[in-house]
A and B are shown apart, each in its own frame.
Chain A
Amino acid sequence: MNKISGVRRVVGAVLIKDLRIEVRSRVVTNQVLPFAGLIMIMFAFALDNDDVLQRVAGGLIWLATMFSLVVIVQRSFAIDTSDGALDLLRVAGVDLSAVFLGKAIALTMQLLVLDVVLVAAAFLLYQVQVSAVGFVLLVTCVIFATTGLGFVGTLYGGLTAGAKGRETLLPLLLLPVMAPVLIAATRATEAAFGSGGAVTSEGWAWVGLLAVFAAVFGLGGTLAFGPLIDE
């Protein structure tokens, strides 16, 4: 009982700390969002065809999310390592699983904001359309996908935090691991948009896969984060 309330306290403290710092520093809103938006616009230049853009909109949203994720994760751990706070977290003897959960939830919430903007950009720039059922599918897909990405990003971000060559090591480790999310979230989003004649009902199976992914890495991360970041 005592342990659970202790864990909840640490999760809450870390979550509030991370979110408050993000709100204050506005790095996500002032830098990552424009970066993600820029990716969407650049794709429009590169593909240069409205029909193609409508078809691939789902994939572009998730590619932009994942590239931004790498940036946000690195930033999230730079906050903790820049003034030695991560060391003090270890010495404080707090449960590192709770730190993992707190940071992962904070990361997921930032990704949710990012995805709302990216989906809006897809509506504006790529002229995609969505039905009411499709909208429900889309929202569910975004929630599960960002949760999975939040877990996996926090886990690998912790591993590479403070390591030499982390700027290149993090994407090397993270991008292949995120492949199932890219495939599943893209298909589900396409089903929601009805891109290329995809049917909405096809999307739900993909959401199931996203849920499995989030569960696997939520559990794996909770267990593995402590051993991974400790010296």
Chain B
Amino acid sequence: MTNGKLINGKLINGKIVDFADVVIVYDNFPAIAGATFTVASGEIVLLQGPNGAGKTTLLRACAGLLPITRGTANVLGCDLRSDRFAVRSRVGLLGHANGLYQDLTVLENMLFWSRLVGATRSDIDQAMSAIGLASRLSQTRVAHLSAGQRRRCALATLIVRRAQLWLLDEPHAGLDAQGRDELDRTLRTARDSGATIIFASHEIERARSLATRSLTVAGGVVTST
């Protein structure tokens, strides 16, 4: 717990994520097989690698969702081995799934997620315009949205959370060119206001231009830093 003290929401030693020889086993399969890497405050880090390399598992582990089998893991000053629950309220995760309720409208979904984290209505409006989600869509049910619109809606719920560490799994997937531009802009803005970002992407060209650094994940190991 002493590994990094928070002052004004920032870690004084600057390491937001610090993984050393981390092994994560689920159902006897080592999805992460000894990953070592660090992420400093204010970085935008790209995780690249083939499907099944362990990128998704790594992101979920950073969110405190998975038990660490071996090694040491520290995120935002929380030791994930002793208490992986403390970190949760301070990270924002966007996985392959959007976490939206199909039968609720865009606004109802936004209100649900923002009520959980205590955000206000103006936060929602800001987030929706930042990600280019037209306000005319707010009364539309999620079931009637296109894949790209859903992705934007999910991103908007994430923006509302004002997380210190953003963990994004294929955030570009399903978005059109304009949506990708808006996403990149949003992520840069979030970084400028103090957030650190880790994301996985197959859109290598675009992702490299966004990222400040990229890591390659293969066979459950971070192979190049």
Stretch in A79-87, A176-184, A205-213 touching the partner: A79-87
Check: B5 CB closer than 8 A to any chain A CB: no
**Inter-chain contact B103/A91, CB cutoff 8 Å:** no
Check: A89 CB closer than 8 A to any chain B CB: yes
Within the complex, what minimum Cβ distance (angstroms) separates B39 from chain A?
A: 18
Contact flags (1/0) for B92-118 with A, using CB distance below 8 Å? 110111111111100010001101111
**Inter-chain contact B116/A13, CB cutoff 8 Å:** yes
Within the complex, what minimum Cβ distance (angstroms) separates A50 from chain B?
A: 42
Residues of B within 8 A of A20 (CB): 103-104, 108
Check: B88 CB closer than 8 A to any chain A CB: yes
**Inter-chain contact A88/B93, CB cutoff 8 Å:** yes
**Inter-chain contact B66/A91, CB cutoff 8 Å:** no
Best-buried of A6, A20, A79, A92 by chain B (most CB within 10 Å):
A92
Best-buried of A12, A20, A25, A89 by chain B (most CB within 10 Å):
A20
Tell me the number of A-to-B contacts counted with CB atoms below 8 Å.
79
Interface of A is mostly: helix
Check: B67 CB closer than 8 A to any chain A CB: yes
Residues of B within 8 A of A216 (CB): none
Task: Rank and list the top 6 A-B pairs by shortest CB-CB distance, nearest first.
Answer: A93-B89, A84-B97, A88-B99, A93-B88, A13-B115, A24-B103
Interface, chain A (partner B; CB < 8 A): 6, 9-10, 12-13, 16-17, 20-21, 24-25, 79, 82-85, 87-94, 230-231
Interface, chain B (partner A; CB < 8 A): 60, 63-67, 85, 88-93, 95-104, 108, 112-113, 115-118, 141, 161
A-B contact pairs, 16 of them (CB 8 A): A10-B115, A13-B116, A16-B112, A17-B112, A21-B104, A79-B101, A83-B97, A83-B99, A87-B65, A87-B93, A90-B65, A91-B65, A92-B117, A93-B89, A93-B90, A230-B85
